[in-house]
Amino acid sequence: MKMQNSSTISEKCAFLADYASWLWGCGATCARITKNTARIARALGIDCELTVMPSHVELSLAGADGADAAVYTRRTGHSGISFDINARLSRLSWEIADGLVDFPEAVRRFDEIKRTRPTGQWEVLLLVGPANAAFCRLFGGDWAAMLTVLVATLAGYPLKQTMIADGRDLRLTFLCAAFFSAAISAGAWIFGWGDTPDIALATSVLYLIPGVPYINAVSDLMAKHYLCAFSRFMDACVLTACLSAGLCAGMFILGLEKF
């Protein structure tokens, strides 16, 4: 009976550790990870502590008599940033806390969430292009600049998707995508398309800005998760430096000395 009980606790803790690592991987902040995991742990009747680190999560279980004490460690970063998975995992935590689903059903739903397919690359591409063109308009670009940014994004984004799908280094991917997007949008300056070629050039690489890591870094900073905040911030800074290098390389090769 004791063994059976211990095994159940072990399964629940393994589930919690997996849950926390998946939340980390899909782009949740540390505050959300700790709150959601603690909510599920309370509902399951487990007394545990969660430590969130930049590359892994640790769940420490302290048994009353020390017999069940254990540490469960999971590596983070499974799925890439996904608001869909993030929302579904949060909903699952509330359903467990409200007693709407029992543990076996929660495990089944968690497995289902893990199999969530990412948004289709063509849908993303068709949305990112107009969104970046809208950014150009927001910064004062005219219609010619918007069209240029749209084309530059539609050229650079598939390159990013392809290189990521091929497993290329993310920094190299950002550099290449920024270079080609900047070079194509520089056509507005070279051929005299519209009155705001400078805005077209500057906004053509905005789709590459790692916004979620920057926002999460600030959120982690506010929640006093300084290690994770610094880690996310540095990751975002490195990617931003790469896209800046691509942008500068495009401008340098095309001889745009005005900027």
Partner 1 sequence: MVQAEITWWAIVAVLLLAFIFRAFERYYTECRPAAGDKPRRSLFEEGEEGQMLYVPGDLSDEDAELFDNL
Positions touching partner 1 (CB under 8 A) are 155, 158-159, 162, 166, 168-169, 180, 183-184, 186-187, 190-191, 250, 253-256
**Nearer to partner 1 by C-beta: 130 or 158?**
158
**197, 251 in Cβ contact below 8 A?**
no
Which residues lie across from 51 on neighbouring strands?
A: 58
**Nearer to partner 1 by C-beta: 71 or 190?**
190
**Nearer to partner 1 by C-beta: 204 or 216?**
204
Alpha-carbon gap, residue 93 to 99, rounded angstroms: 10
**Nearer to partner 1 by C-beta: 70 or 155?**
155
For the chain, the 3-state helix, strand and coil shares in percent, each to the nearest 5, are: 70, 5, 25
- Closest distance of CB 166 from partner 1, Å: 8
> H-helix or E-strand containing 251?
helix 226-253
- Closest distance of CB 163 from partner 1, Å: 10
**Nearer to partner 1 by C-beta: 120 or 255?**
255
Tell me the residue ranges of DSSP E strands in the chain: 48-52, 56-61, 70-75
- Measured from the Cβ of residue 48, the count of other Cβ atoms closer than 10 Å reads 21
Q: Please give the span between the terminal C-alpha atoms of the chain, in angstroms, as a whole number.
A: 74
- Closest distance of CB 129 from partner 1, Å: 15
**Nearer to partner 1 by C-beta: 14 or 164?**
164
Interhelix angle 2-25/83-97, rounded to 10 degrees, is 150
- Closest distance of CB 152 from partner 1, Å: 10
Would you mind telling me the total number of residues written for the chain in this entry? 259
Alpha-carbon gap, residue 229 to 152, rounded angstroms: 32
Q: Residue 72: name the closest of 5, 3, 29, 18 by CA.
A: 18
DSSP label of 208: G
- Closest distance of CB 180 from partner 1, Å: 5
**Nearer to partner 1 by C-beta: 156 or 213?**
156
Could you give phi then psi for residue 121, rounded to 5 degrees?
-65, -30
- Closest distance of CB 119 from partner 1, Å: 20
- Closest distance of CB 137 from partner 1, Å: 24
Alpha-carbon gap, residue 105 to 195, rounded angstroms: 60
